[in-house]
Structure 1
Amino acid sequence: MTSHSGKVGEDGSSIEQRPESILTTKPEMSNVPERYLMARPAYGTVGHHIQLVANHFNVKCTLPNAVFYNYTVIIKSDEMSDTNASQTKGFGRKVLDKLYQTYYSELDGKEFVYDGEKSIFTIGPLPQNNYEFTVVLEESSTRATGEHQGDDIPNEGNLKRFRRSNFTRTFRVEISYSTKIPLNSIALALKGNATKHTQDALRVLDIILRQQQAKRGCLLVKQSFFSGDHTNFLNLGGGATGCQGFHSSFRTISSGLSLNIDVTTTMIMTPGPVLDFLLANQNIRDFRQIDWAKAKRMLKNMKIKTQHTNMEFKIIGISEFPCNKQLFPMRARNNYGEAEVVEITVLDYFLKNHNINLEWSAGVPCLNVGKPKRPSYIPVELCHLVSLQRYTKALSAQQRASLVEKSRQKPKERITVITEAVKKNRYDEDPFLSSCGLYIDKQLTKFDGRVLNAPTLKVGNEENCVPRNGRWNFNQKRLWRPIQIKDWAIVNFSARCDLGYLSRELNNCGRNKGIVFDRPMNFVEEDRQWVRSSPLIRVEKMFEKMMATLPRQPQFLLCVLPERKNSDIYGPWKKKNLVDMGIITQCISPTKINDQYLTNVLLKINAKLGGINSVLALECTRSIPLYNHKPTMIFGMDVCHGSPNSAFPSIAAVVGSRYWPSISRYSASVRTQSPKLEMIDSLYVPMENGEDDGIIRDLLLDFCHTSNGLKPSQIIIFRDGVSETQFNQVLNVELNQIIKVIEKLGVDELPKFTVIVAQKNHHTKLFLDGARENVNVPPGTVVDTAVVHPRNYDFYMCAHAGLIGTSRPIHYNVLLDEIGFSPDDLQMFVHALSYVYQRSTTAVSMVAPVCYAHLAAAQMAQFIKVEEVSTEQEKNRAIPELGKLHQYVRRSMFFC
């Protein structure tokens, strides 16, 4: 695991060893009482006002005293091993639809909505608290399970099943009263008095919309729905298709109850012939090249529709032999009319029984759509993948880039699509919504927003730099604190690049910015004999050659990679340099070497080696409200996860500010934790010897060490990636861990905390009201009225200039503010932190500390990718630890 202790010097070349502890150790203080989310203290006023609209639709309620009754549903079937059949996707809805049709009068004609799992909801009570019904489904309702198909696929016992074509299935459905959920709990929440029923009532309203879309045949994914309309499909290649749909959720906001509608995208298997899918998925052109083991993994549990019968089945596997050799027993009558069992191939079966002569799939395996002990085979060429089946594999870099490009929508286009969706869904005609007395407006919510002025920056020679439209540049400007690079070299992993030209141009561009490059010690080209070796071997061989030709270990390495995106060499190379050798490295893969490209590279190099590219003018004058009054530390915290179905561990990263009163300089600490775990569990890690081995300790010590021994009197925490349901855990679990670290280090008085959660994955979009041009809201746009929480302290901010697609504002939620910022001071502070991101000359959408935490986690995740984490054996092993960063680079901004 990463444990930082040590420091890169100002010029990146010297190393200072920190004292063992600046703070004295003393016993832990008493436990802190539980904290609660703070209420909004006031509204911001700074900035010029603009008219905005958001993708929220006002909801009026004419029956506020209506009450939802919640009933628990248990569906049982003697023929299913799972006692609760409603857990099977889409199955419970069929049973309950049939139940309503059959027992309409027993339910007093009262309609209900079903959550797809274990609950139904009615408005007002049913006549009884408990029911037990028997529901009979005809065969046509169960064909998708692959059972009792009749004489349509090769399967032992076909003759017997053909005679049972009128098969039915019986279910027992138990309904029992659970609880009441008053609709007026929403009205109370709008007044700032949320009750335990508020979220339940909103959930019921969301379930009403889900049921509406389920009846229309849409794919439901959490709060989103997707139709099978091919005009919504985005082909991403590799058998993956992006399906555009809509997110919908009822929300309590300060202007009242609203329906939030947004465009969203999910991944589905590309529908169509199974052959086309396999060729695309495996990136081949000939069916004879198909890897059937890989095909089996991809197709398992997918639904297909047969060309010859137009029936649906679920794939459970692949046949052992090809169609022309795969035998199965079939009952048939001989010439004397006697029943007998004969062995027949799948190929002959389809020729004899369906007059189908297989054109190309005779020599390839069949799809098995039966049961484990009773297989049923269908040739691949007769099968089509059913639409709207989720694609859950990790997307490649190319697929992700294609998804981003194809799913972009300009603001006006997005507004049109959203408003048309609201009209098309005809919410006014939904009987259940009408029974609730709910009316959904068809116009976007209008309100006032404010635009904050960009902060003034300082660059070299004390020159002021005023960003315009969220951007600035270093044309004819020097960096604030450029570094000198003495011992360095360039290595090239077989990329087509003139290293001499690259070195000269980098030197010339650096000189203009104030960076002084000595002559590189050497240009090291990869030996051609190692090009086809594994990435680990290529890195080792490169280091052997490099160290044999260099007079001493370099301070910095510029590495030229052959692939622009996701090079296999990147992870092993970074790990070798940062963990084993203690060398700062910058990887590039240039397609065009010009001043802009080289400037961007130099910004990263300067920051990594201890330089500073630009600072806020407020930093120089020490006039940031409250921040400059007392020693204040900033934390940025984030957790990155692997793909949905992988056993890859989650990576928790925390960056901490240093050299107070600077807000532009940070160091990072990173750990692994259990896959998909969002809360950080290693902020404080007590050991047997009584010491703390957590993430926070070294960051705190480093702050003291670089801030003239001052202990932080105030700590500002920016936490990324958590949902509203986890706010209390951030406030009472993660914050308590940090407090334990501080107590362990020994303090006379705990610092004051301000805790802010920054959310990017939400569905509120901001648009200019009545804008003639198709442009986004201007950078610096802030909103703390209308669409914010009716009680809690939150605001939306678009700090960046959205040049492509529709800008996504960051939703900042202030959970705690013991420091006591005014709303204006806090919003301007957050805005300013979007301008100290050293890697670029644009304001970033998220505050820089959170961006840095994300970069640190992502970069060190590459260390684990080097190891074998994909095998079944690895899944059962302990969570792999990250290697400790070398002392020469621990305190650098290596992640920049």
Structure 2
Amino acid sequence: MEKEASGSLQLPPPPPIIPPPVKPENMGQLDPPKRSIMSRRGFGSTGRHISLLANHFLVSVKHQNEIFYQYSVSISYEDKKAVENKGIGRKKSLYTVGPLPQNKLEFTVVLEESFAKHGSPPQNGSPSESSKRSKRSFQSKTYNVEISFAAKIPLKSISLALQGSEAQNTQDALRVLDIILRQQAANRGCLLVRQSFFHDDSRNFTDVGGGVTGCRGFHSSFRPTHGGLSLNMDVSTTMILTPGPVIDFILANQNAREPRNIDWGKGQDKAHSNKEFKIIGLSEKPCNQLFFPLKVKNSDIEHDGGQPLEITVYEYFTKHRNIELTYSAYMPCIDAGKPKRPSYLPLELCTLVSLQRYTKALSSLQRASLVEKSRQKPPERIRVVTDAIRNYCYDDDPLLAASGISIEKKLTQVDGRVLEAPKLKFGNNEDFLPRNGRWNFNNKQFLTPIRIERWAVVNFSGRCDTSHLSRELINCGRNKGIHIDRPHTLIEEDPQHRRSSPVVRVDRMFENILAKLPGPPQFLLCVLPERKNSEIYGPWKKKSLSEFGIATQCISPTKINDQYLTNVLLKINSKLGGTNSLLAIEQSSRIPLIKDTPTMILGMDVSHGSPGRSDIPSIAAVVGSRSWPLISRYRAAVRTQSSKVEMIESLHNPLANGDDDGIMRELLVDFYQTSNGRKPAQIIVFRDGVSESQFNQVLNWELDQMIKAFQHLDEVDVPKFTVVVAQKNHHTKLFQAGAPENVPPGTVVDTKIVHPRNYDFYLCAQAGMIGTSRPAHYHVLLDEIGFSPDDLQNLIHSLSYVYQRSTSAISIVAPVCYAHLAAQQMGQFIKFEDFSETSSGLTMVGTAAVPQLPRLHKNVAHSMFFC
């Protein structure tokens, strides 16, 4: 006999474990999985051993045979119409420990709720009722509730998964445990954002400008690991509207000094909702010109025949409510009503309630401020997380207690290894061994420097001395082995054009370039007016790369010194076909499993538009290595695709209009042409930006598209594939026990906190100088090539040292970074495009029209333009 339920909770339904992707018609249906995610082959052994701590807290489960019961919850009104609002209507599932008395229950619930409070706004003709509303009023609503049994979720499935078996219900059981933590946070009044929660505590707030505040909270989630079940606890940050007067938010958001400087048209989209009223916008007229009919009873005010009196919102609040308004008379009012029934409130009476999420993209200044103010050194991060695990008393939760679950209060101890940095090769056949993940070009030359003979400087900034800049660049280039002739011309923007649109400014500049240069230049150096997010950047890159095929480097220098110019030259040399450095084993063709077999390395990423912008297409970019046996040179293929779709749609596209057979064909042909007519017999894929729920789609659908592209070239022998997902967006942190600094570069962990069955590991390749380092989390989904754990970890570590823009190891493999750069840069091409259905350059993807990117000019298509 099953025991009675010992606890229950209600929360929104969990998302499906593997959501189906949205794909165009020619992508076909996702076939049943043909490949399973591979199991771990073993553990690495190279490198010096190091003692570490991880922000995982060991979890013990006493009642292994306990069972969670899931019930579906249906809530409807008396007329049987379903409740779909985000409040009551969000409760779709019920979980209990042990069963309910019956598999199906039906009952009625009457909720008495307040519908008006003191200070309610006048509502379209009936503000005379305000005297009644000043007292709290209530109304009753009746709901029909149906609860029906859905599934049994055994807790034992977690212990089976920990033993390495593919137990069913494991994810469901872990999800229930996560929901228990969410429910506990909700009961404390926290803002919930996925698996993170945030308190209304000003000590956790960080002002980042523009009326936006960073709110620090915590991420918590249960994870099966090689060392047992653990609770991953980490500091997390979300963005909220700065609580306080609405007028203060609008002033800060528009960087206005006083209300008369506010652009009220912009203010329309900045109004948000709070707990009392949902703000839907601003009135068109100011408070003292906004009339509405007021029904007046027993009033001394004379009016015609008892008809409603036309009165302004300003008069209503000052005369009838006796509320003093100091500055609202000439400002718009907040509309807190409904589209057909407006309800107006003077601005100065409105305050933004705390913990309201701000979901728009941050500006570059806001993001920089957030990063600067949110940094925590490793000891502080350890203290904050361990304090949280103690303060939240998870063990006292009745549902966790009923499941026999208890959580350790100290960080998990982990054995790590520090891999040796790869030796680099510079110019003049010079070898160099990076120290602490870093190197420099002081008194050194680039490995293969280019020669720049035909070039010019264009200046969109009035603050830069381009003559001084060009002289210093030539001198710095000489020291690095790059011969740079004097620029053919220095072109300053006509000050009259600075108020024109970005596209017009770029067009005018190119008219000047064509007029002043005898022929197409080899290279253009472009000085932008702003350091970050300049509106000139997108139109400039589009014009130079797609129309003219000219390599360009954009800069906005604040201080010109040798380090700054060296960083600029690293990019210029790479874009124009030079090589700054190589791995020593790469130059001498001694990379294990790659040196003898033609091997292509791919980096794949998809860049999405800002949150809430479903009209902006996503940008898919794949970079492929070229000139085998090198692994430092890449070429990019970039396409637009359906908005917010993560799976890459254009890997194989034989049915497309025109000459575009897809990304893979473009990269395979390029590999063949640059590798002495050799075809890749091995392909190593690094996929960025996917969650664990999408691994099967990468392994089956995307990989199938790559294979079909290869076969479409009439090839019979399909290459061997190794597929690795690279994740940066996770919550595992590594610390040196008892040390104030970050873990050393090259730190790898492949035991205890990794998956109990699947093949994954953590690698911190970079030297974290500020804040707390975040390791990259690599998941090996498939390895047909047959790397040993040491060979694969060392290859991935080495690929963090081939990033041509940098003189330090980077946090994730270079091909992934290049794909991200290519997607971002070409995404700027369409920043000023019209995305209406009538705009030109559209291609049909499924049923949606997606604007196509302009093709790169043949002169730059093969280059590392994205560097």
Report the TM-score when normalising by structure 1.
0.89
Alignment of 1:4-153 (within 5 A): 34-78=34-78, 83-85=82-84, 87-89=85-87, 91=88, 116-140=90-114, 143=115, 148-149=116-117, 152-153=120-121
Rate the CA distance shift 1:568–1:658 in 2: closer, same or farther, 3 A.
Answer: same
Give the residue type in structure 2 aligned to 1:58. L
| Structure 1 CA distance for aligned equivalents of residues 700 and 651 of structure 2 | 13
Whether the aligned pair in 1 keeps the contact of 2:837 and 2:849 (CA below 8 Å) is: no
> After alignment, is 448-457 or 390-399 more displaced?
390-399
Whether the aligned pair in 2 keeps the contact of 1:151 and 1:158 (CA below 8 Å) is: no
Whether the aligned pair in 2 keeps the contact of 1:781 and 1:797 (CA below 8 Å) is: yes
Q: Secondary structure at the match of 2:35?
A: coil
Alignment of 1:618-637 (within 5 A): 618-637=585-604
Rate the CA distance shift 1:790–1:169 in 2: closer, same or farther, 3 A.
Answer: same
Rate the CA distance shift 1:688–1:237 in 2: closer, same or farther, 3 A.
Answer: closer
2:347 is the alignment partner of 1:371: no
Rate the CA distance shift 1:367–1:473 in 2: closer, same or farther, 3 A.
Answer: same
**TM-fit CA distance, 1:689:** 8.5
**TM-fit CA distance, 1:322:** 2.7
Partner of 1:175: 147
Q: Paired residues, what number?
A: 824
| Structure 1 CA distance for aligned equivalents of residues 137 and 743 of structure 2 | 62
CA deviations over 1:642-700 (Å, ceiling 9, x no partner): 11111211100000001100011010000001111111010000127997610110110
Partner of 1:878: 849
Partner of 2:252: 280
Q: Secondary structure at the match of 1:450?
A: strand
Which of 187, 205, 210 matches 1:215? 187
Give the residue type in structure 2 aligned to 1:226. F
**TM-fit CA distance, 1:129:** 1.4
Partner of 2:804: 838
CA deviations over 1:701-729 (Å, ceiling 9, x no partner): 11111111011110100000000000000
**TM-fit CA distance, 1:158:** 5.0
2:205 is the alignment partner of 1:239: no
2:403 is the alignment partner of 1:436: yes
**TM-fit CA distance, 1:215:** 0.7
Which of 281, 305, 309 matches 1:317? 281
| Structure 2 CA distance for aligned equivalents of residues 431 and 468 of structure 1 | 52
2:486 is the alignment partner of 1:523: no
Give the residue type in structure 2 aligned to 1:701. V
Q: Secondary structure at the match of 2:358?
A: coil
Which of 783, 786, 793 matches 1:820? 786
Q: Secondary structure at the match of 2:716?
A: coil
**TM-fit CA distance, 1:516:** 0.9
| Structure 1 CA distance for aligned equivalents of residues 248 and 553 of structure 2 | 41
**TM-fit CA distance, 1:258:** 0.6
**TM-fit CA distance, 1:535:** 1.5
Give the residue type in structure 1 aligned to 2:421. A
| Structure 1 CA distance for aligned equivalents of residues 763 and 524 of structure 2 | 38
What do you get for the CA RMSD once the two structures are aligned? 2.3
2:820 is the alignment partner of 1:854: yes
Runs of 5+ unmatched residues, structure 2:
1-30
**TM-fit CA distance, 1:514:** 0.9
**TM-fit CA distance, 1:225:** 0.6
Partner of 1:776: 742
Rate the CA distance shift 1:604–1:75 in 2: closer, same or farther, 3 A.
Answer: same
**TM-fit CA distance, 1:192:** 1.2
Rate the CA distance shift 1:78–1:239 in 2: closer, same or farther, 3 A.
Answer: farther
Alignment of 1:368-407 (within 5 A): 368-407=335-374
Rate the CA distance shift 1:139–1:812 in 2: closer, same or farther, 3 A.
Answer: same
Partner of 1:542: 509
Rate the CA distance shift 1:547–1:151 in 2: closer, same or farther, 3 A.
Answer: closer
Which of 661, 679, 697 matches 2:629? 661
Whether the aligned pair in 2 keeps the contact of 1:333 and 1:340 (CA below 8 Å) is: no
Which of 705, 708, 712 matches 1:740? 708
Partner of 2:471: 504
Give the residue type in structure 2 aligned to 1:741. A
Partner of 2:224: 252
| Structure 2 CA distance for aligned equivalents of residues 812 and 317 of structure 1 | 46
CA deviations over 1:430-462 (Å, ceiling 9, x no partner): 111111110011100101000000000011111
Whether the aligned pair in 2 keeps the contact of 1:684 and 1:692 (CA below 8 Å) is: no
2:617 is the alignment partner of 1:649: yes
Whether the aligned pair in 2 keeps the contact of 1:495 and 1:560 (CA below 8 Å) is: no
Partner of 2:13: none
**TM-fit CA distance, 1:542:** 1.3
Rate the CA distance shift 1:339–1:173 in 2: closer, same or farther, 3 A.
Answer: farther
> After alignment, is 355-364 or 848-857 more displaced?
355-364
**TM-fit CA distance, 1:78:** 4.6
Partner of 1:354: 321
Rate the CA distance shift 1:336–1:267 in 2: closer, same or farther, 3 A.
Answer: closer
Partner of 2:199: 227
Whether the aligned pair in 1 keeps the contact of 2:748 and 2:762 (CA below 8 Å) is: yes
| Structure 2 CA distance for aligned equivalents of residues 394 and 335 of structure 1 | 52
Q: Secondary structure at the match of 2:683?
A: strand
Partner of 1:14: none
Q: Secondary structure at the match of 2:514?
A: helix
* Larger RCO, structure (CA 8 Å, separation 6 or more): 1
> After alignment, is 727-736 or 167-176 more displaced?
167-176
2:692 is the alignment partner of 1:724: yes
Partner of 2:387: 420
> After alignment, is 119-128 or 344-353 more displaced?
344-353
Q: Secondary structure at the match of 1:539?
A: helix
Whether the aligned pair in 2 keeps the contact of 1:334 and 1:340 (CA below 8 Å) is: no
Rate the CA distance shift 1:176–1:482 in 2: closer, same or farther, 3 A.
Answer: same
2:542 is the alignment partner of 1:571: no
**TM-fit CA distance, 1:365:** 2.4
CA deviations over 1:216-254 (Å, ceiling 9, x no partner): 110011111111101111111111111111111110011
> After alignment, is 466-475 or 542-551 more displaced?
542-551
CA deviations over 1:112-171 (Å, ceiling 9, x no partner): xxxx5310100000111112222222233xx4xxxx457743234456683892422222
Give the residue type in structure 2 aligned to 1:367. I
Which of 580, 584, 605 matches 1:638? 605
**TM-fit CA distance, 1:392:** 1.4
**TM-fit CA distance, 1:329:** 3.1
Report the TM-score when normalising by structure 2.
0.92
Partner of 2:480: 513
Partner of 2:21: none
Partner of 1:309: none
**TM-fit CA distance, 1:537:** 1.6
Q: Secondary structure at the match of 1:587?
A: strand
Whether the aligned pair in 1 keeps the contact of 2:54 and 2:412 (CA below 8 Å) is: yes
